[in-house]
Structure 1
């Protein structure tokens, strides 16, 4: 551990050289399991639990898993200044101590026993950002550190999803790792938390490597498949699969898919988890592809529901550091928003998350998978509990921003025709023949219930016909909540393997009656020039995938063709932000301006933090008061300032509201969202190109908004 000397405490963390070697051969993995025979095999993994701004207390946890012996490793820590300039001539360190351990789960497998230790973190907030360095059994590594914002500062956040490959992806072409890029930026920006928006692990290989599940999925007789009883051996194999899958992925970044070319070792992922605390929600691949979006008769089968129950157990253990047998940690931690009823298939209550991520920012992680059914994502009773919590938090202390984690995008093009086609009786004869293996290539139908393979993905979407009513009700309820309390709401999503930003905003009048022409112009000008006063403005930042392969160019083109303006109600329009005007190289104007099919991750930085950070200020080259057109960040000019003339492209940045090009101001209480897009999949340097959108706070309030004209809505 570094000593008390200032120059050793403020060590230079050279991530580019430290972890570059970890990227080598990231498109391959060892043939055997990498899990160690004894000692520490997983961890340390950091988790953010809750930040209390009444007592100014930061709460988190660390997960460490050992094999072979049940003695808890010792974790000691020291806290101190993050920056030398904050320290001056004072001692750079504040305090030191030891994190208390709890053995919260142990599990035997063969001759081995695995011990799960949780270490509780409780550190007081102070007037400056703190760096916490910790040792594990006397060993310190450069990434054994994390950063706690000052008591007056909001959090720097990462949002990511789809952290793994689909079963048959050819991984050989991916020679970089975006986790390396995350580490490189983290060392300069100091991210306070990373938000896992679902699919933190890909468990679809259960149908290959779990013999009982493999046998069950290959059962052709539907009566036999639906009536299969899960016996003790079936349960044992389910537990063994998920335990092994998590140990290999969370401990070593190791994964093996369905083909000899489907392999990866994401060594930078466990390193990132040791230096950036996580908050996670889950999605279907954390369980198995499509869980929750199949017909009720299939979902309730003993085999499929047992898969969900086993996945839930290990999701809680690894992603939340909690055992479902612990009453206090599982049911009483103040960060949880517990669903009032057991879920239909997993038979456990949903666990949504709320915490402050700064004195003026809140985070809601909505559990959209535990309760999910084909025709319902979250129950009405659970929505009521969630919004009751949000109201209580708004009354407790002012929030300028609320970030809502939804696994699947809620502002996204409709694919109604494909949904209709794949569920249509027109394809019934082909489905029947495919089930018998008579015609159609592998992958036309899934092996679970015989539906067309992509139907579960379409049924997952909020805009699917089964979910449209629920979706509109949630959006309207969020709009009303934000308007009443003056909170800017931003939705964070993933799932779709590309980047985009959906947008709800006050409707512009495009065909005003002649006698209302002047009034319409004034109202339109207000919408265009005063987004900080638009109570209906709500962005859906879609960042996916941090690891998985992007879809082909044709999918981006299809989505762009469907990205028309939709009238959510008579006063709200819905569209997508044309942020991807140029390629990651900075040249060649793109037709698919709203969708970019490259691997990516996003970050959300409070404007105040961005302006103070030397690294970011040099990149963004912007200041409070600048008005920005969403788009690529130029090496020479930074963010796209309105009316700036670029000598290289000979173009001037201008708005064009009729085509969706709106500009947004950088405000003191705003945030800057960046989509960090992979520049070159074949380069182990793993660089990304930054596309930015400033989001202003909301400066107006009203008791309620009109939702006249809103169709398909269960708002109450």
Structure 2
């Protein structure tokens, strides 16, 4: 009997050698233009972007369901009849532990948007989780290839999560310096232990080049007056729409982008989109640098608001597979804002979804309602926390870890004095001369004439304008986690380096010896322990060593309230080459992170290393020991004394070793994030 190719290749690994050759061919010196569309399937369709995957939810309403979508953007042909695409799939076991038996079906497709000669097709994935992990292979018009596949967890399993942000270069970065591909390393890790989902923390695309690519917008920015209240013309709308469409088609479809100092072809990124379902929130570069954090006078300019609203449309199309005209009520993962934003005239879109049995994620939309003085309105916060509360109650204690996606770090060194300096009226003459080009013009931005770095500082939760809101939110998260007995971990990026910050119950001299031991040796009993996993950039250039050193000097222990402290963990005792580091808090190299349930590591080499105590001491400790490097580029984190907990999330930072290495090797730093063992009622949260 003849075995068909799908059955025959079902358990084949990814073609990593082929991927590496593609990375080499995509070296900056070889990039001259954006690759063409691909012709896929029979009948053939011209694929401009996709297929790419989005995860929506699973285990909903007491079922064993799994939901997601596949986006396919086709370039319409003027000379032929439009072909309706079809996506067929096979689903079967992910490993040879289960005998191979495949089921097949078709994902129903919907043409939900058309514009500029492109058709947007969304295919609904409605699948069923089983007692074992599954692999899904799919085809586009009967064309299968090794990239068209993804993985489902088992009914009792939680998902392996990959987390990233800052997925692109700033406009003036010299791209020729970067030959390594962290997306190649992502797929290499994915081949070893599949990622079920990847979380984009903002800046999944860099749209700052709109300043140069949209001529009407560029011309407007050249006006002599600081603020210009010209109206948004049809010509400018057309130009902006063409820019955002083209930028997304090139980046999400081919991995191509061009700045003022060179181009890049990140060919592994579209391949990752085909294989790992994504859940995203957005940040300023998905729109334009600093959007929302300039003064109200700047943000209310008709043209600047137009940029935000047009960018929002394409953000929904490409990153969420929907359009603003489709009702949010039809998709249960959305948490709509209470009212439209002040500059983006749409309701904010936060998201809640469950990552398998014991993990859930809530992504806060921190951009749609943002102003210089506010990130999210109180009414919208109420909706988000109510949704979180309803979901945790309905889960009846099954959820052990709640990931909170905020994009910008919330536990980070304070730089209020720099904000005050950059915003000082004493700098007005210097800013005026910079705007006129008499001195370094790059010192100020084109939008409000302020110091270029000030919008980045105003974006931060710890900025003076946002400090009160930030402290309130941290207090609410502490109380929420304690009330439900769920460990909260915050995922952030934005700052182009890696670090691990945390809040924890204060090691006060007045507390009892038993309480002190619980804080150090039994973190599963500490309701105030919240980690902020800060991981970026997966593509953008890291800041200079001087910035990382400056941050280390600013990273003091902060007393959040009378019972809770904040600090940054000494994670980076060794550099990626094994040498000693003086800056143990901040590592300014490109990176991404993953969060793997300890249970999912069973039958892997990493599980054996944990069991042998190679990665971290497996039993409770009461002393804060020093971290020790081990083999294979891993480093143990014994200095925080956390014991091995079967309910832990093994959280790993993957740092690039050499930006010029086509093999794209990474060096890993790991920490165990324990679950919260019990519900607790805590008081005096936020009180100094």
TM over 0.5: yes
CA distance in 1 between counterparts of 2:576 and 2:627 reads 11
- Structure 1 residues 542 and 630 mapped into 2: Cα distance closer, same or farther (>3 Å)? farther
Are the equivalent residues in 2 in contact too, given 1:497–1:597 (CA < 8 A)? yes
Match of 2:240 in 1: 238
Match of 1:84 in 2: 96
Shift of residue 19 of structure 1?
A: 4.0
CA distance in 2 between counterparts of 1:573 and 1:178 reads 34
- Structure 1 residues 265 and 532 mapped into 2: Cα distance closer, same or farther (>3 Å)? same
Shift of residue 141 of structure 1?
A: 1.3
Q: Secondary structure at the match of 2:640?
A: coil
Q: Secondary structure at the match of 2:520?
A: helix
Map residues 178-189 of structure 1 onto 2, 5 A cutoff.
178-189=182-193
Match of 1:375 in 2: 373
CA distance in 1 between counterparts of 2:514 and 2:310 reads 58
Match of 2:42 in 1: none
Are the equivalent residues in 2 in contact too, given 1:131–1:145 (CA < 8 A)? yes
- Structure 1 residues 623 and 137 mapped into 2: Cα distance closer, same or farther (>3 Å)? farther
Shift of residue 258 of structure 1?
A: 1.1
Q: Secondary structure at the match of 1:83?
A: coil
- Structure 1 residues 617 and 547 mapped into 2: Cα distance closer, same or farther (>3 Å)? farther
Map residues 551-630 of structure 1 onto 2, 5 A cutoff.
551-588=543-580, 590-614=581-605, 617=608, 621-622=614-615, 625-626=618-619
Of the three residues 665, 674, 681, the one matched with 1:687 is 665
Q: Deviations over 1:265-295 (max 9, x none)?
A: 0000000000000000000000000000000
Match of 2:115 in 1: 107
Match of 2:57 in 1: 50
Are the equivalent residues in 2 in contact too, given 1:16–1:184 (CA < 8 A)? no
Shift of residue 390 of structure 1?
A: 0.6
Are the equivalent residues in 2 in contact too, given 1:203–1:288 (CA < 8 A)? yes
CA distance in 1 between counterparts of 2:228 and 2:367 reads 22
Q: Deviations over 1:621-650 (max 9, x none)?
A: 5589446979676226955275xxxxxxxx
Match of 1:338 in 2: 336
Of the three residues 629, 635, 638, the one matched with 2:631 is 635
Matched, 1:64 2:72: yes
Matched, 1:320 2:329: no
**Ranges in structure 1 where 5+ consecutive residues have no aligned partner:** 643-660, 711-716
CA distance in 1 between counterparts of 2:336 and 2:680 reads 29
Of the structure 1 ranges 119-128 and 664-673, higher mean CA displacement relative to structure 2 is found in 664-673
Shift of residue 5 of structure 1?
A: 7.9
Are the equivalent residues in 1 in contact too, given 2:633–2:667 (CA < 8 A)? no
CA distance in 2 between counterparts of 1:621 and 1:540 reads 25
Shift of residue 50 of structure 1?
A: 1.1
- Structure 1 residues 637 and 238 mapped into 2: Cα distance closer, same or farther (>3 Å)? closer
Matched, 1:93 2:131: no
- Structure 1 residues 325 and 128 mapped into 2: Cα distance closer, same or farther (>3 Å)? same
Are the equivalent residues in 2 in contact too, given 1:579–1:632 (CA < 8 A)? no
Q: Secondary structure at the match of 1:194?
A: strand
Are the equivalent residues in 1 in contact too, given 2:54–2:277 (CA < 8 A)? yes
- Structure 1 residues 28 and 410 mapped into 2: Cα distance closer, same or farther (>3 Å)? farther
**Ranges in structure 2 where 5+ consecutive residues have no aligned partner:** 39-44
Are the equivalent residues in 2 in contact too, given 1:621–1:639 (CA < 8 A)? no
Matched, 1:359 2:351: no
Match of 1:296 in 2: 296
Q: Deviations over 1:425-474 (max 9, x none)?
A: 12111111222222x21310001110000000000000001000000010
Are the equivalent residues in 1 in contact too, given 2:26–2:266 (CA < 8 A)? no
Are the equivalent residues in 2 in contact too, given 1:603–1:673 (CA < 8 A)? yes
TM-score normalized with structure 2 length: 0.94
CA distance in 1 between counterparts of 2:428 and 2:6 reads 73
Of the three residues 535, 540, 544, the one matched with 2:536 is 544
Are the equivalent residues in 2 in contact too, given 1:669–1:696 (CA < 8 A)? yes
CA distance in 2 between counterparts of 1:540 and 1:321 reads 29
Q: Secondary structure at the match of 2:57?
A: strand
CA distance in 2 between counterparts of 1:8 and 1:64 reads 25
CA distance in 2 between counterparts of 1:298 and 1:28 reads 39
Are the equivalent residues in 2 in contact too, given 1:630–1:694 (CA < 8 A)? no
Match of 1:218 in 2: 222
Match of 1:713 in 2: none
CA RMSD of aligned residues (A): 2.1
- Structure 1 residues 617 and 40 mapped into 2: Cα distance closer, same or farther (>3 Å)? farther
Map residues 143-292 of structure 1 onto 2, 5 A cutoff.
143-222=147-226, 225-259=227-261, 262-292=262-292
- Structure 1 residues 161 and 366 mapped into 2: Cα distance closer, same or farther (>3 Å)? same
Q: Secondary structure at the match of 2:217?
A: helix
Of the structure 1 ranges 487-496 and 170-179, higher mean CA displacement relative to structure 2 is found in 170-179
CA distance in 2 between counterparts of 1:120 and 1:147 reads 16
